[in-house]
Amino acid sequence: MEASVPIHRYTHRDLAARNCLITSGYEVKVANMSLTRDIYAKEYDRWRGTAAAPVRWMPPEALADDDFSTRADVWSFGVLAWEVFTQGDLPYSGRAGDDIAAGVAAGSLRLPPLDQCPEPLHAVMRACWSPRSADRPSFSELAVSIGEMTVDSDL
């Protein structure tokens, strides 16, 4: 009998490489490292007054309306994938949080393609960054797409 995995409908709201732990068996565990935020202070920007927010990982709807959903986390997953392929570069390095938020909201700012990232995987990242949350893949769809890539290629 196959074990059933419960489906939880939670949003993380801070999915980024800094919050991913890797076990000795190379399993990724998503955590929330909020207690270590001062170590990562440069990765949070002041947003809407005094709140510190991970603007560099936030989708347009979260920036505009504080609308967080699993599809918002999918956007952040695309940024996390970009972080992995840059070996930890800060997304939108050298830009201020307000500039990032305005560019992402306007659709004029996205992370650039990377020479070290295969095009099919960058296409998945671009899908994660669809301006409309409904157009983004689900995490289940991402798992299938990336799984097929790893079976069918050198990823």
116: nearest Cα among 92, 147, 85, 143: 85
Residue 14 is a catalytic residue:
yes
Distance CA 41, CA 79 (A): 18
- Residue 119: count other Cβ atoms within 10 Å of its Cβ: 8
Catalytic residue among 14, 115, 135, 154: 14
* DSSP code for 88: S
Write out the two tokens for 75. Answer: 């956007």
Return the SS3 of 44: coil
Residues catalogued as catalytic: 14
